[in-house]
Amino acid sequence: MFENLSERLSGVFDRLTKQGALSEDDVKTALREVRVALLEADVSLPVARDFVKAVQDKATGQAVTKSVTPGQQVVKIVHDELVHVLAGDNPAPGELKVDNPPAPILMVGLQGSGKTTTTAKIAKRLQEKDHKKVLMASLDTNRPAAMEQLQILGQQIGVDTLPIQPGQTAQQIAKRAKQQATLGGYDVYMLDTAGRLHIDEELIRQAAEVRDIATPRETLLVVDGLTGQDAVNVAEAFDRDIGVSGVVLTRMDGDGRGGAALSMRAVTGKPIKFVGLGEKMDALEEFHPERIAGRILG
């Protein structure tokens, strides 16, 4: 396993002479270690560089407090800055705009990212925690199995799904979901759009058409948190072409160190709303910047 950042830094500072304040050289040496730790946590290089620069400005000249070692002090500065970047101006990550019923939520993302699972997890949460009546609809006309998967998950968690009508286009299904949500007195309807292995024109066109029909209150992008820089590229493309209001990072129960979260925030500026922590229907958590910061630091 990786040596964690505190251990690394205490090593660095042990070799340096003790001074009253963190000198520029001390900080520089320490920040080389910080940069390596960030890269090992899968933070992209430009983001790691900018981050280290920001920390350098904050740390240089800071008085060394008596109660902590210089290493611990730099770790604290790094931790606080990580939380600051990760949190952004998003004080309540798990909250979704679902007033004005029926409120549409558009779910987008690549195939295999965990989109259908996450749709059901969020529906369950809205129903149980926020007492919303939720309708889910699968728009994945290319993959009947994906439609059935959503239906099965709906039965499991006690959330209604729009009945499957073979032969309909995604747009027709979106219109039917809207109608059903209105007639059925639903608070929220969730549209699980088709995913593909890569972003292509057809995927984007379909998602954009559905967006124009539903005018969603939230457009949530589901990305695999283990894919690092790819996750950021996917988010940039979806945001440019569809417009994204929030991100859900899945597979954060895996071995990854969570660096994708930092890159995602720094590059796209989009709030991370939830993290997926497993396959089960309750393995969804609202995003806690401190937990991810702790994980990145190791």
Give the Cα separation of 122 and 133 in Å (integer). Answer: 12
Among 113, 245, 263, 268, binds ligand GDP (CB under 6 A): 113
Is 115 annotated as belonging to a binding site? yes
Is 192 annotated as belonging to a binding site? yes
Nearest to 285 by CA among 297, 275, 270, 295: 275
Give the residue carrying structure tokens 């749709």: 119
Q: Interacting stretch for ligand GDP, rule CB under 6 A, among 66-74, 129-137, 163-171, 275-283?
A: 275-283
Is 252 annotated as belonging to a binding site? yes
Residue number with CB closer to ligand GDP (6 or 118): 118
Please tell me whether residue 31 adopts helix, strand or coil conformation: helix
Cβ 37 vs Cβ 298: under 8 Å: yes
- Residues paired with 275 in a beta bridge: 249, 285
Cβ 96 vs Cβ 126: under 8 Å: yes
Give the Cα separation of 239 and 221 in Å (integer). Answer: 9
Q: Interacting stretch for ligand GDP, rule CB under 6 A, among 14-22, 88-96, 111-119, 166-174?
A: 111-119
Among 70, 102, 114, 259, binds ligand GDP (CB under 6 A): 114
> Residue 267 is encoded by which pair of tokens?
């590059």
Residue number with CB closer to ligand GDP (25 or 230): 230
- Rounded to 5°, the CA angle 155-135-154 comes to 15
Is 109 annotated as belonging to a binding site? yes
Is 160 annotated as belonging to a binding site? no
Altogether, the residues listed in the chain come to a count of 298
Residue 141 found at the interface with ligand GDP (CB under 6 A): no
- Rounded to 5°, the CA angle 145-150-154 comes to 145
DSSP string for 107-167: EEE-TTSSHHHHHHHHHHHHHHTS---EEEEE--TT-HHHHHHHHHHHHHHT-EEPPP-TT
Is 15 annotated as belonging to a binding site? no
Among 6, 44, 73, 117, binds ligand GDP (CB under 6 A): 117
To ligand GDP, the closest distance from the beta carbon of 120 in angstroms equals 8
Among 115, 257, 265, 270, binds ligand GDP (CB under 6 A): 115
Is 294 annotated as belonging to a binding site? no
Residue 258 found at the interface with ligand GDP (CB under 6 A): no
Residue 109 found at the interface with ligand GDP (CB under 6 A): yes
Q: What are phi and psi of 152, to 5 degrees?
A: -65, -45
Q: Interacting stretch for ligand GDP, rule CB under 6 A, among 17-25, 47-55, 62-70, 277-285?
A: 277-285
Residue 250 found at the interface with ligand GDP (CB under 6 A): yes
Annotate each residue in 173-212 with x if it binds ligand GDP (CB under 6 A) or - if it does not, as one string: ----------------------x-----------------
Q: What are phi and psi of 209, to 5 degrees?
A: -65, -40
> Residue 144 is encoded by which pair of tokens?
């009947």
Residue 253 found at the interface with ligand GDP (CB under 6 A): yes
Among 7, 148, 279, 290, binds ligand GDP (CB under 6 A): 279
Interacting residues toward ligand GDP by CB under 6 A: 109, 111-117, 195, 250-251, 253, 276-279, 283
Write out the binding residues for GTP.
109-116, 192-196, 250-253
